[in-house]
Amino acid sequence: MPRARRRQSHALIHLVLGVGGLIMAFPFLWQIVMSLSTNAEVQSVTPTFWPEHLQWQNYAAVFQRLPFLSQLWTSVLITVIRTLAQIVLCTLAGYAFARMRFRGRAVLLGLVLSILLVPSQAYLISQYQIVQNLGWLNTLAGIVAPGLFSAYGTFLMRTAFLNLPAELEEAARIDGSGPLRTFWSVLLPVVRPSISVLAISAVLWSWNELLWPLVVSTRATQMPLSAALATLAGDVTVNYPVLMAASLLAMAPILILFILLQRRVIDGLASSGLK
């Protein structure tokens, strides 16, 4: 194709992708604008595209008016604990299911994987009761508990270990390392890409999850950010710019992480297809 024509068609493609990308980004940009406006500016019929004075104090108000810090802390704890637990438990189980022989392996694996086909509503009521009986309503333990275990993660890690050549273990054995050592220093490093996919999806899912925290936590200070924001949604006493600032701050950690690790996040999620 002649260079001039090619440049022209590229311009068209940039136009389409640019406009599409702008639509994708618009709500975030608009949210930033609103978070820096006054309540009156947000509620004016002709939109205020740029606030007269940037209201940075809206961000300070998030911490003063809402129990934001404790909610943020809850979200961080839930996410960190679940992600670490999933990595440890799913890697161990995935390894055993992929490369070890034991009685009942196929049945147990089938049982774990069958959960993948079940929508979360099918266990929610009963999970709620278990947590209630344990006296864990409105506690971190209650919010965290079911999400420590992941069928998806087990599936992911099993696939990763299945794809390794048997020679790897054999070589380690000949070098005289025991099962634990082989697992830890020979096999784990090789499946690191899958572990990072597991970590990414655990973080995302944990941070954003709404339904479960909403049913087990009713006390504002014990809620993670997702449930807190959703509960505030219908509350007319909340100042809109402060609400916008709060929801931006709630998304910020994930969005920053995403932008820093974009390639890995996008490729990891796209190849695994969670959610």
Partner 1 sequence: MPADVSESAPAPAAPATRRARRGVRRGDGLWPWAFVLPLLAGVGVFYIWPILQTAFYSFTTWGVFGGFKWSGLDNYGRLFTDPQLYRSLLNTLIYTAVVLLGVPIAAWLASLLNTPGLRFAQFYRVLFFLPYVAMPAAVALVWRMIFNGDYGILNWALSLFGIPGPSWVNTPGFALAAVSVVGLWSSLGFSMIVLAAGLKNIPPELYEAAELDGASRFRQFRSITLPLLAPSVFFVVVVTTIASFQLFDLLYALLGNHNAVLPKTMSLVYYFYSAGFVENDKGFAAAIAMVIFVLIGLVTLLQFRLQRRWAGNA
Q: Which of 56, 43, 10 is nearest to 240 (CA)?
A: 43
The phi, psi pair for 235, rounded to 5°, reads -85, 110
**Which of 44, 163 has the CB closer to partner 1?**
44
**Which of 53, 273 has the CB closer to partner 1?**
273
Considering only residues 45-84, where is the footprint of partner 1 by CB under 8 A? 45-47, 84
Distance (Å, whole) CA 218 – CA 143? 11
Closest separation between CB of residue 4 and partner 1, Å? 14
Binding mask 85-124 for partner 1 (x = CB under 8 A): --xxxxxxx-xxx-xxxxx-x--x--xx--x-xxxxxxxx
Q: Which of 79, 182, 194, 222 binds partner 1 (CB under 8 A)?
A: 182
Q: Which of 8, 20, 57, 141 binds partner 1 (CB under 8 A)?
A: 20
**Which of 25, 162 has the CB closer to partner 1?**
25
Q: Is 260 in the site for partner 1 (CB under 8 A)?
A: no
Q: Is 4 in the site for partner 1 (CB under 8 A)?
A: no
Distance (Å, whole) CA 36 – CA 56? 6
Count of residues interacting with partner 1 (CB under 8 A) = 110
**Which of 69, 130 has the CB closer to partner 1?**
130
Q: Is 148 in the site for partner 1 (CB under 8 A)?
A: yes
Q: Which of 62, 195, 225, 242 binds partner 1 (CB under 8 A)?
A: 225
- Tokens representing 249 are 């701050």
**Which of 60, 118 has the CB closer to partner 1?**
118
Q: How many Å from the N-terminal Cα to the C-terminal Cα in the chain?
A: 41
Q: Which of 55, 58, 217, 247 binds partner 1 (CB under 8 A)?
A: 247
**Which of 10, 54 has the CB closer to partner 1?**
10
- Tokens representing 84 are 């670490």
Distance (Å, whole) CA 76 – CA 69? 10
Q: Which of 77, 140, 164, 230 binds partner 1 (CB under 8 A)?
A: 230
**Which of 65, 173 has the CB closer to partner 1?**
173
Q: Is 172 in the site for partner 1 (CB under 8 A)?
A: yes
**Which of 55, 91 has the CB closer to partner 1?**
91
Q: Is 199 in the site for partner 1 (CB under 8 A)?
A: no
Residue corresponding to tokens 């220093």: 185
Q: How far is CA 103 from CA 41, 106, 109, 111, 132, in A?
A: 68, 8, 11, 14, 35
Stretch that binds partner 1, among 55-63, 64-72, 191-199, 222-230 (CB under 8 A): 222-230
Q: Is 38 in the site for partner 1 (CB under 8 A)?
A: no
H-assigned helices in the chain: 3-35, 39-42, 57-65, 68-99, 105-114, 121-133, 140-144, 151-162, 166-174, 179-181, 188-190, 192-208, 211-216, 225-232, 240-260, 262-272
Torsion of CA 272, 108, 146, 202, to 10 degrees: -20
